[in-house]
A and B are shown apart, each in its own frame.
Chain A
Amino acid sequence: MKDSMDELSNGAVSHLDLETPEKPYLDANELIINMGPQHPATHGVLRVILKLDGEKVLGTECVIGYLHRGVEKIAENRTYTMFNPYVDRMDYVAAVSNGLGYCEAVEKLLNVEAPPRAQYIRVVLTELNRIASHQLWLGTHALDIGAMTPLFYTFRDREEILKIFERYCGARLTTHAFRIGGCQYETYAGFEKDVKNFLAFFPPKIDEYEALLTSNRIWLERTKNVGVISGKDCIALGVTGPVLRASGVKWDLRKAQPYAAYSKFDFEIPVGENGDTYDRYMVRMIEMRQSLRIIEQAVNGIPEGPIMGKVPKVIKPPVGEIYHSIEAPKGELGYFIVSDGSTQPYRVRVRPPSFVNLQALDIMVRGMLVADVVAVIGTLDIVLGEVDR
């Protein structure tokens, strides 16, 4: 038993040996079980093949692709503008962030910049979206660990954000809020009031979530020292976002490579210490509060001016390639676009945070129990639409 624990702790990612040669008389040693694709805790259609010793996880293998829609391939047959709504369908929980990343990448390729007013509106909406995404994460994560009630509280409060989106651009989930070069819509009358109302409304709600969970004994036992990953491992695997920051690495693209108007705002990057599930929980909770700070500064400082930059009617970027990444709620969301000078991209490659973060699942759950797999899937905050694209 000791040897196998040592073997587990070196964190080697290896393929599972799924073939059991001869069924032994007492087959209590290994159990291969399929978690998913239809399973309440895999957040969609993720299939995790678990190799178990009793309840202990000896190894995992993720089987993905059940939600593959070929988004990247579709891009090659659409003009730059036409492709814009498709990115919303990747991480449908944070559609605004997806749109921001794509628009900024194309803007960079075109060498134009969105006007300041558009930049500020983008920041407000993106940060609202970050809160919405974290709310959904919190609700489902708590549900996975067995606390049903926070899910309904978060959905109640997420509704307020979705209402703002709906009033702004008519859509609640797949918003398609931004256009290449700025924003298509001017803010509606009362936009600022709605956002400020939300700013006043939401902090007590975060306190409410925290009252249910943060110092709950069972919550602490279920999350402390569960799914621990070191900062080094995170960097080696390319893990980003709250997962990376909870492991003690202070890396947030909003500070490290400021885009949009983020360099103008004052906010802090929460960092964890242990890299366990509880730290990731706390990091995201603080991030929600920090997002509120950013929104407050942005909505108070929205400058006057146009909302669209000088963008040609037909978007035809020069030959070249560009990689642009933003800090999506789940981590670094990057777009690599190759242009052959035509109206359609030659190749679009998305670097989705969920997909990359999911790689960490195996080393996070090895040697843990089945219940921890569920907690870790929840804490990684994956969206299968983005993993499979």
Chain B
Amino acid sequence: MNSVVNTGAAPVATPFFFYFLAGAAIVSGLLVITRRNAVHSALSLIVTLLSVAGLYLMLYAPFVAGVQIIVYAGGIMVLFLFVIMLVNIERSAKDRQFNRIWPVGLAAACALLSLFVSAFVKGRNLFPDRLVALQESSNTQQIAAMLYGEAGRMGPYTFAFEIASLLLLVAILGAVIMTKKKI
């Protein structure tokens, strides 16, 4: 009768899930840019986002994973599909998929890749393996403390968070005004 009570779910078969999710993310990420059909690309992108959400879960960040699913997979991708369905797929599939500025895009991608590699190689001492002991069970509460503060004090990111939400509010109002004018 060993009823071990953990505060968080202990990971199972970690390497398998890591490589599975990472592989799924990469393969579907490649499908996103290679599929001619925009709907197929969008569906692949959803798989990528869900795989990344799974990786977040493995990093003991369930809240980020949940938000990733709600906001990206559930919200933004629905709007993506919504727009794509209104586009004439047959014609867009016949279009050339690569336009003239693809060398620039390639250069940007290479630059990003080299940044990641250099950060991975050189930045080990910049980012310690683990900042704090991660607690899955209080992850959400920790994020709340960071964003909103606790016990009457502002958290470290409260100001930035509020500014960002104000920016979004302005964006929403702008969008409403822009569409209202036309009608």
Contacts and interface: CB of A to CB of B under 8 A. Distances in A.
Number of contact residues on A: which range applies?
Answer: under 10
A54 to B, nearest CB: 9
Nearest to B182: A1
Interface residues of B, number: 7
B86 A25 contact: no
A26 B87 contact: yes
B91 interface: yes
Contacts of A28: 86
Contacts, number: 15
B183 A26 contact: no
A168 B115 CA distance: 93
B4 to A, nearest CB: 54
A25 B183 contact: no
Contacts of A26: 86-88
- The dominant DSSP class at the B interface is helix
B141 interface: no
A310 interface: no
A23 B90 CA distance: 10
B183 A23 contact: no
A27 interface: yes
B90 to A, nearest CB: 8
A24 B88 contact: yes
Interface in A20-43: 23-28
A26 B86 CA distance: 6
B92 interface: yes
Contacts of B183: 1
Interface string B70-101: 00000000000000001110011000000000
Nearest to B91: A25
A2 to B, nearest CB: 8
Contacts of B91: 23, 25
A221 to B, nearest CB: 22
Contacts of A25: 87-88, 91-92
Given A26-B87, A26-B88, 7 more contacts: A1-B183, A24-B88, A25-B91, A25-B92, A27-B86, A27-B88, A28-B86
15 contacts: A1-B182, A1-B183, A23-B88, A23-B91, A24-B88, A25-B87, A25-B88, A25-B91, A25-B92, A26-B86, A26-B87, A26-B88, A27-B86, A27-B88, A28-B86
| Those 8 A-B pairs whose CB atoms lie nearest each other, nearest first | A28-B86, A27-B88, A25-B88, A23-B88, A26-B87, A1-B183, A25-B91, A26-B86
